Structure 1
Amino acid sequence: MSARPVLAVVGAGPRATGLVERLAANAPALYGDRPLDLHLIDPHPPGSGRIWRRDQSALLWMNSMAEDVTMFTDDTVRQEGPVRPGPALDAWAADVREGRTDCAEAAADPRIRAEIETLRGRDFPSRRLQGAYLRWVYARSVAALPPAVTVHEHRDLALRVTGPRDGRQLVHLAGRPEPLAADLVVLTLGHLDAGPDGEQRALSAFARRHGLVHLPPDFTADSDLGVLPAGEPVIVRGLGLAFIDLMVLLTEGRGGRYENGAYVPSGREPVLYAGSRRGIPYRAKIGYGLQGERPPLPRFFGPERAAELLDRPQPLHFRREIWPYIDKELGHAHYHRLFTAHPERTAAGRAAFEEKYAAAEPGSAALRDLIADAVPDPADRLDLAALDRPLDGVRHASLDGLQEAVRAHIEADLARRHDPGHSEDLAVFLGLLSVYGTLVRLGDTGNEWHGFFSYLASGPPGPRLRQLLALSRAGVVRFLGAGTTVEADEERGVFRASSSTVPGERVEARALVEARLPGPAPGRTRSSLLRTLHADGAAVTATGLLAVDPGDGRILDRSGRPHPRRFALGPHTAARAGGAFTRPRTGGPAFAQNDATARTALTLLRDLHPDPGD
């Protein structure tokens, strides 16, 4: 067995890339010139991983503008390690265009080069272009490691991790007869596949009995959409980003095109009857930048509030104990911007309002009265419940009437999200990012927050919603409404969908698509590595996430003890932080997590293998 220190990272996508970048940044101060073998294990290419791989349709976009995507820290990240600045995606593309940065991938692939040539800051890049950026960041981060660090890449699947708490860990790989021995293991697995739950198994069995099509939750880019026949109705549950991918691949992906804002069908499209709990798509990405003063964040939901909440009896009740502070924090961002950028829409002095706002109890009648007196137009007040569920209590006599109403909602949302005159919306977006950073400290607070955040802050590009409008007008997409439910009709051998928005209306189809990602579940994950960790005593939260120490990412056992040699980062953990990359100058909670884990790992490796000269 080698005496050299060994760190194994399982998963080599963007989260692992961020960890490597932090290892490189912190190694000079914490690790010096000691030797280290760094093993990165992933069946997909390092840097981009599965989601951002090159071999996918160019029709699939990111849902962020190029100027809003960075993999590098700045002074807004609350971390102990040094800041190592680097270019955001748009600046990187400009550097490649103008010859300041080499990109072998752009030289080798004319499709990537062509996109780089035209990309500007407010464009929405393809996912495969983002993959090229991520692979460049990975290569740069590896090159920045100290000379005594040797990187080993394994295009392989990790099956399980074994080993004693106080000894070397063994990483068992599918394509290697002997396990890889490592001092420390970090899991950066990203989003994982999961098997169907009870409802999905029953629907699939029903589909098999009757010769129907049922596509359970999956990554849309990896689904076999060829089984959905042209011209036939398809019920779709979900109107989030997975739905947008589905919409694109079944329309443009089948030869349709857009002309002068209208959709021209190819004749190969199915008819998508789409519904969800909300009955409307996610809110559009905001289409302008913030000018002037930023709201000071966090204000009412920061580290001090997190510490106070952690002192309360656990587990915390999200809606009762956490949500009121989130509501007040987002309101602070909203009204700070309204008073500073749009004072003509207020009826009070800013200083007096802020003093009374700070003193008012979250969610209290006094707070609501204060806002009503200071902000005359209800449309200028922040109402998170109305934003979240605009179809609650709305009823339509027919599906035809609903189509016009949902199109009007989307058009109004697009107009507002591209109007700097409503820049308080962008302030709320910044508040959402700040809240995410604080929630990471609280561990798993349930799925309610993540669904709300994705709906309000991580929606599709504006152009995608304009395409959805065109598809709706062309009859290729039909909205079902809120509270969509699906039944399996054994007698007729069809799926039947209905909603609370259009009582009495039913849609029948021989195909059902669940347009959403699989949820985390220890009993259903297709990752044998996670299944064996759970069986070996790793703790799992009530929502199926791997329990980790929010401070440094060490995996917790069922008694709450952190494992001294195993770490985990990413969406499969209770400390999920919203994404492996983020907007520049927005704090980047994932970056701070990467920094803490890198620093802890380097310190442990140094202590496990002391330099004789120390």
Structure 2
Amino acid sequence: MSTLAIIGAGPRGTGLLERIAANAAELLPPDRPLEIHLVDPYPPGAGRIWRHDQSPLLRMNSMAEDVTMFTDASSTIEGPVRPGPSLAEWAARAEEFAPYQPVADPAVRAELRSLAPTDFPTRRAQSAYLDWVFRRAVAELPPHVTVTVHRDTAQSVGGPPDGAQLVQLSDGVLIADQVVLTLGHLGSSPDPGQRELAGFAARHGRFHLPPAFSSDADLSGVAPGEHLILRGFGLAFVDLLAMLTEGRGGRFVPAPDGLAYLPSGREPVIHVGSRRGVPYHSKTGYRLQGPPAPLPRYFDAAAVDRVLARPGPLELRRDFWPLMAKEIGFGHYHELFHAHRERVRLPWTDFLDRYDRLDWYAPELTALVEQAVPDPADRLDFEALDHPLTGLRLTPDGLQQHLRDHIRTDADRRADPAHSADLGAFLALLSLFGQLPRIMAADRLTARSAATELDGWWSGFFNFLASGPPGFRLRQLLALSEAGIVRFLGADLRVAPDERTGTFVATSPTTPGHPVHATALIEGYLPKHVLSRTENPVLRTLALGGELLEEAGLLTVSLPDGRLLDPTLDNTPHPRRTALGPHTNGRAYTAFARPRTNAPGFRQNDAAARSLLTELALTTGARGTATPTSEKVIRT
């Protein structure tokens, strides 16, 4: 009998369990029984972020047809491909997929029955899907594998590298041969800047919310009519805005030019700004109008190998971004030329022949695009996309109108299939993640590039272009602006405490000379995990013991199998400890993915599952134990 402890039973832990089930027949003989112990205080499958117990106002930023937990024909994995339904397919025919169990919440049942493939589901609908995925993974395990779920928080992991691992729970100890940390998105204790703001708020009786997960945020301290600075314009902002408006009784109603907002009187006045000063681009509401581009073309394995063969340290923007940008451009122009031929002046074959031969930054490429694509609105301009307010100097009222026009234009464009080249660029952008894990595994990026370019600029740029909200959220933002509930602050936002007035003061070069004073401040972005300030007790204990390595605040693991690199073992992989997820330098952030995209997270899960099963098949030592009250046993 061998034992595996998986700490974290959310989507990443569930995805690993699915891969264990898929690979067990090959790698775990029937005479090698295995006990799997899953440890998580939140429901298995959904975990903390996707648990059912959250506001029905909170939605996914992906369409139902673009969410899957299963490998498919695109997956380049060593283990067997086990296809399964997307969220949309499961919702349409849930009773056909074993093990079927009716969804308990009648509101979620009703949503699933009416869910269209292109709808943006609530997070509670995703919770139901993940619950089913978990139960299917358990059901597909062979008879000699059992699963025990512990609704508990692991406090520490100890034990020698050549012996049993001890997982401390609140009411007992698990003894395991292998331990996997699938901890999901983690928070960190406040940095010095956040501590300063929190201290200021406490001294003056003001409200301050540091970076937090939306479903956990307590907004009750924000008073009706209070002036609030909300710093951040991404997905956390969208969630917080919904809870501070609709969540307080306001309503959106149809209006001749779109939507109007009817306040409840309980809303604060929300002043919002960020580095860019504009919200994330909304998701497209249509499908490709032409044939899919054959991706990748320029940023494939061979191209990455050629860059990696260069001597010396590498940088993302200097060495890889020209290939990445050209790939995105290929997706954009492939769709434009194939679906909207009346808007181009050259045959596609002529354009592509010249495009192939030119570097991304070559003046000749700029000239080619100008010759072939007469309308600048049809050309791909990364600088204009990334810095939409650069150089603008406006009055506060002028900024409100400018931002409304910007948001309306973006929402209209992302709903109009005439601009489907945007979707072509989006799909090419997603394809880049096929090679990024290889770059990270090669460990050739400088520390500065990994921190400021990969985790900084690239992550922010990708989220801004590709991880925005559904289009209806931007139209709601317009209505809130027109109702005076939301006021825009501009780009390069700075917020400072003012001891004299006891207020937070926001300034932006977009509206010079017009500071905004507020008595509440919310940091409208998700917590960034930093290992030295981690809130997770297991990682904190291991770090204090000098048993972890850190890379740009992330846990350093071997790729692709996720073995923890241990300083006490000369920085080599620990034979009994693995970590997968966004808290690691594996950086496969999403535990679920768009179908047919060869998702890096699925590839990591498969590699880790095969490594674990290979080791566990050779192990007969440990046996998991805990007090009976802390566990729920699921037998297959």
TM, length-normalised to structure 2: 0.91
Displacement, 1:477? Answer: 0.7
Q: Choose which of 315, 321, 324 in structure 2 pairs with 1:323.
A: 321
Q: Which of 28, 32, 50 pairs up with 2:29?
A: 32
Distance 1:518 1:315, change over 3 A: farther
Secondary structure class of the residue paired with 2:61: coil
| Deviation of 1:218 (Å) | 0.6
1:238-274, Cα deviation, whole Å (9 max, x unpaired):
0101111110001111000111110000000001000
Match of 1:256 in 2: 250
Q: Deviations over 1:102-139 (max 9, x none)?
A: 65351x32222222222221222111111011000000
Q: 2:358 aligns with which of 360, 378, 384?
A: 360
Conserved? CA contact 1:105–1:132, under 8 Å = no
Q: Does 1:141 align with 2:137?
A: yes
1:114 aligns with 2:110: yes
Q: Which amino acid aligns with 1:395?
A: R
Q: Secondary structure at the match of 2:295?
A: coil
For 1:427 and 1:251, the matched residues in 2 are separated by 34
CA contact (8 A) 1:442 1:550 kept: no
1:427 shift after superposition: 1.2
Correspondence list, 1:131-530, <5 A? 131-176=127-172, 179-260=173-254, 261-312=259-310, 316-396=314-394, 398-443=395-440, 444=450, 445-530=454-539
Task: State the one-letter code of the partner of 1:535.
Answer: L
Q: Check the 8 A contact 1:546/1:573 in 2, yes or no.
A: yes
CA–CA separation in structure 1 for the residues paired with 2:215 and 2:54:
7
- The reply to whether residue 94 of structure 1 matches residue 106 of structure 2 is no
**Quick one: distance in 1 between partners of 2:132 and 2:584?**
27
Q: Which moved more, 1:430-439 or 1:142-151?
A: 430-439
Alignment of 1:550-565 (within 5 A): 550-558=559-567, 560-565=571-576
Asked if 1:602 corresponds to 2:605, the answer is no
Closer, same or farther in 2 for the Cα pair 1:448/1:550, shift >3 Å? farther
Pick which of 31-40 and 299-308 moved more: 299-308
Amino acid at match of 2:132: W
Q: CA deviation at 1:69?
A: 1.1
The answer to whether the Cα contact below 8 Å between 2:27 and 2:613 also exists between their aligned partners in 1 is yes
Q: Which among 567, 583, 593 is matched to residue 604 of structure 2?
A: 593
- Other structure's SS at 2:555 match: coil
The AA in structure 2 aligned to 1:342 is: H
Amino acid at match of 2:464: Y
- Write the distance in 1 (CA, Å) between the matches of 2:97 and 2:46: 22
Q: Note the C-alpha offset of 1:99.
A: 6.2
Count matched residues: 602
Whether the 8 Å contact between 2:184 and 2:583 is mirrored in structure 1 is yes
Q: Cα offset for 1:363?
A: 2.1
Alpha-carbon distance between aligned partners in 1 of 2:248 and 2:579, rounded to the nearest angstrom: 40
Letter paired with 1:208: A
Encode CA deviations 1:500-525: one digit per residue, 9 max, x unaligned: 21111111011100011111211211
Q: Displacement of 1:543 after TM fit?
A: 2.2
Paired residues of 2:288 and 2:335 also in contact (CA < 8 A):
no
Distance 1:293 1:512 in 2: 47
8 Å contact 1:318–1:446 — kept in the other structure? no
DSSP-derived class of the 2:156 partner: strand
State the shift of 1:542 in Å.
Answer: 4.3
1:580 is the counterpart of 2:574 = no
In the alignment, which of 533, 541, 547 is matched to residue 532 of structure 1?
Answer: 541
Q: Name the stretch that deviates more: 445-454 or 216-225.
A: 445-454
Contact 1:234/1:271 (CA < 8 Å) preserved in 2? Answer: yes
Percent identity between the two aligned chains: 56
2:634 — aligned with what? none
CA deviation after TM superposition for structure 1 residue 168, in Å? 2.4
Q: CA deviation at 1:440?
A: 2.0
In the alignment, is the contact (CA less than 8 A) between 2:98 and 2:136 conserved in 1?
no
Q: 1:126 aligns with which of 122, 126, 132?
A: 122
Q: Give 1:302 deviation, angstroms.
A: 2.2
Q: Write the letter of the residue equivalent to 2:273.
A: G
RMSD: 1.8
1:45 alignment partner, SS class: coil
Mapped partners of 2:357, 2:571: distance in 1: 37
**Separation (CA, whole Å) in 2 of partners of 1:402 and 1:122:** 33
Which letter maps to 2:561? D
Q: Which amino acid aligns with 1:282?
A: Y
Contact 1:95 1:101 survives alignment (8 Å): no
Does the aligned pair in 2 maintain the 1:157–1:175 contact within 8 Å? no
Give CA deviations for 1:32-60 in whole Å, capped at 9, x if unaligned. 32311111110101000011111111111
Shift of 1:74: 0.7
3-state SS of 1:29 partner = helix
Instruction: Give the 3 Å change call, closer, same or farther, for CA 193–579 of structure 1 in structure 2.
Output: same
Q: For residue 416 of structure 1, report the CA deviation from its aligned partner.
A: 1.1
Q: In structure 2, what is the Cα distance between the partners aligned to 1:344 and 1:74?
A: 36
Number of the residue aligned with 2:629: none
Work out whether residues 548 and 555 of structure 1, in 8 Å CA contact, stay in contact via their aligned partners in 2: yes
List alignment gaps of at least 5 residues for structure 2. 441-449, 622-636
Secondary structure at the aligned position of 2:296 is classed as: coil
Counterpart-to-counterpart distance in 2, 1:325 and 1:434: 12
- Check conservation: 1:306, 1:439, Cα contact below 8 A: no
Select 2:2's aligned residue among 1, 5, 10: 5
Residue 545 of structure 1, CA deviation? 0.8
Equivalents in 1 of 2:211, 2:288: separation in Å? 36
Q: Classify the secondary structure of the residue corresponding to 1:123.
A: coil
CA distance in 2, matches of 1:210, 1:337: 56
TM-score by length of structure 1 reads 0.95
Q: Is the 8 A contact 2:560 2:586 kept in 1?
A: no
Task: Name stretches of at least 5 consecutive residues in structure 1 with no aligned partner.
Answer: none
Tell me the equivalent position of 1:15.
12
Secondary structure in 2 aligned to 1:214?
A: strand
Shift of 1:340: 2.0
Higher mean alpha-carbon deviation, 275-284 vs 518-527, is at 518-527
SS of structure 2 residue aligned to 1:104:
coil
Distance in 2, matches of 1:430 and 1:259, equals: 33
The farther-off stretch of 231-240 and 57-66 is 57-66
Residue 230 to residue 56, structure 1, CA distance change in 2 (3 Å):
same
Kept in 2, the 8 Å contact 1:331–1:428? The answer is yes
Work out the CA distance in 1 between the residues paired with 2:419 and 2:382.
Answer: 16
Q: Which has the higher contact order (CA 8 A, sep 6+)?
A: 2
Alpha-carbon distance between aligned partners in 2 of 1:314 and 1:546, rounded to the nearest angstrom: 25
Deviation at 1:437?
2.5
- Per the alignment, residue 624 of structure 2 pairs with none
Q: How many angstroms does 1:609 deviate by?
A: 5.0
